[in-house]
């Protein structure tokens, strides 16, 4: 057990942690990979249109059906539950489809990935081009402080922001602010760290399209004298965000920062088929980060290939969530607290990255 760390790090991409991470060789570094026969990995990486066409059709059918029910519930006491279902089907699969199609692995056919990616990006209120590059950086420098733009919570955690983001009231308004400024050709300092200048023009036009849609929805609300149009477009990104946040917190929180082994900074958990459908198998998160070119429909098979080399997965979403909140509670007073998950005897040793990364984090076996 080492000394506790009390000072808050600068998690921005333009602060001293960026320079420190680069000086330590953590930028675009070589990450650990579990040993999988090349032939088997090639089989797992094979892309198919069929599974994604099936799952996307089911999703859109459920979304449309729940939307009809929600529409006819308007004004009735059960409208809350009807719109909760619609909002969850709007936000959660929107988020996971955005993610997987952004990797270009959901469909074999490129234009299918792009169409669903653009659609899901709007549902998630994530401008497509900035987030494509943001997520590429997240995979290149996963949970490297000063380099990864997608670290959900700093240490010590700010509970107010975490609670607000169950309804996307912090990050959602931050994205709306960025969309607004993109319309006028403004890219903030952090975005310039990962969006190539060649993509600025595309970023601006995407945000202008978003703003036109926002304007159309606002006009529909004014013309009808009701917020009902916004309850179907835009607002579900907020009121339906709860499940996105629940599963999102499990991905990396409580685990290691500044290491080069996804077994240390990512969490896999088991869950039921409904969550796996909505989340598109991203509960296999160690597997996804270690081999991001394996499509979502092959992640369960990849898990079987890797599990002898990985820590034991959390047994359920509830178990993973409880572990996250226990870690967040401890990090409030001890920011260096980190969950250590022992490896099975069949596994190769952890690759920690720089030695300082271990020395500055408390470990609980």
Contact status, residue 205 vs residue 55, Cβ threshold 8 Å = no
pLDDT number for residue 9: 86
Buried/exposed code over 262-294 (b: 16+ C-beta within 10 A; e: otherwise): bbbbbbbbbbeeebbbbbbbbbbbbbbbbbeeb
Question: Would 7 be classed as within a structural domain?
Answer: no
Q: Is residue 1 part of a domain?
A: no
Paired tokens of 220: 């529909």
Q: Report the alpha-carbon distance of residue 152 to residue 331 in Å, rounded.
A: 14
218 located within any domain: yes
**pLDDT confidence band for 3 (50 / 70 / 90):** very low
What gap in Å lies between CA 202 and CA 128, rounded to an integer? Answer: 9
Residue 209 lies in a domain: yes
Confidence of residue 7 (pLDDT cuts 50, 70, 90): low
3 part of a folded domain: no
Q: Does residue 40 surpass a pLDDT of 50? A: yes
The rounded distance, in Å, linking the Cα atoms of 346 and 333 is 35
In a domain, 178, yes or no: yes
CA 156 to chain CA centroid, nearest Å: 20
Mean pLDDT across the chain: 94
| Residue 288 CA, distance from chain mean position | 12
What is the average per-residue pLDDT within 74-84?
Answer: 96
Cβ-contact 165, 159 below 8 angstroms? no
Copy the structure tokens of residue 125.
Answer: 């209120």
In a domain, residue 5? The reply is no
pTM of the shown model: 0.93
Sign of CA dihedral 3, 27, 307, 296: positive
How many domains does the chain fold into?
Answer: 1
Element holding 155 (H helix, E strand) = none
Q: Which domain holds residue 356?
A: 16-364
- Cα separation of 241 and 88, whole Å? 7
pLDDT of amino acid 353: 75
Q: Are 257 and 361 in contact (CB under 8 A)?
A: yes
Whether residue 11 lies inside any domain: the answer is no
pLDDT for residue 90 is more than 90: yes
* Secondary structure letter of residue 34 according to DSSP: -
pLDDT at 356: 45
Write the pLDDT tens digit of every residue in 176-234: 999 999 999 999 999 999 999 999 999 999 999 999 999 999 999 999 999 999 999 99
| C-alpha atoms less than 13 angstroms from C-alpha of 241 in its C-beta half-sphere | 22
């Amino acid at each position: 057990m080492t000394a506790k760390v009390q000072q808050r790090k600068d998690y921005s991409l333009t602060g001293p942690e960026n320079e420190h991470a680069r000086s330590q060789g953590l930028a675009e570094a070589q990450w650990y990979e579990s040993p999988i026969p090349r032939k088997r990995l090639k089989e797992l990486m094979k892309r198919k249109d069929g599974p994604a066409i099936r799952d996307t059709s089911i999703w859109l059918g459920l979304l449309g059906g729940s939307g009809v029910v929600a529409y006819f519930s308007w004004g009735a006491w059960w409208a809350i539950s009807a719109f909760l279902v619609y909002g969850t089907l709007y936000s959660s699969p929107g988020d996971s489809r955005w993610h997987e199609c952004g990797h270009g692995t959901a469909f074999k056919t490129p234009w299918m990935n792009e169409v669903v990616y653009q659609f899901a990006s709007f549902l998630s209120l994530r401008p497509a081009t900035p987030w494509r590059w943001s997520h590429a950086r997240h995979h290149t420098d996963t949970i490297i402080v000063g380099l990864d733009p997608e670290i959900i919570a700093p240490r010590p955690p700010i509970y107010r922001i975490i609670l607000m983001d169950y309804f996307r009231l912090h990050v959602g308004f931050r994205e709306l602010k960025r969309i607004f400024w993109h319309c006028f050709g403004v890219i903030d300092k952090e975005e310039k760290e990962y969006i190539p200048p060649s993509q600025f023009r595309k970023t601006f036009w995407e945000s202008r399209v978003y703003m036109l849609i926002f304007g159309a929805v606002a006009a529909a609300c004014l013309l009808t004298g009701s917020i009902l149009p916004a309850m179907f477009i835009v607002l579900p990104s907020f009121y339906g965000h709860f499940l996105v946040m629940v599963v999102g917190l499990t991905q990396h929180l409580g685990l290691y920062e500044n290491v080069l082994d996804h077994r240390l900074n990512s969490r896999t958990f088991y869950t039921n088929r409904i969550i796996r459908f909505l989340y598109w198998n991203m509960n296999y998160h160690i597997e996804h980060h270690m081999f991001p070119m394996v499509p979502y429909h092959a992640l369960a098979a990849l898990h079987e290939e890797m599990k002898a080399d990985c820590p034991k997965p959390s047994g359920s979403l509830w178990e993973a969530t409880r572990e996250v909140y226990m870690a967040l509670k401890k990090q409030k007073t001890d920011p260096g607290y980190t969950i250590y998950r022992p490896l099975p005897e069949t596994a190769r040793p952890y690759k920690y990255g720089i030695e300082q990364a271990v020395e500055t984090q408390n470990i609980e076996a």
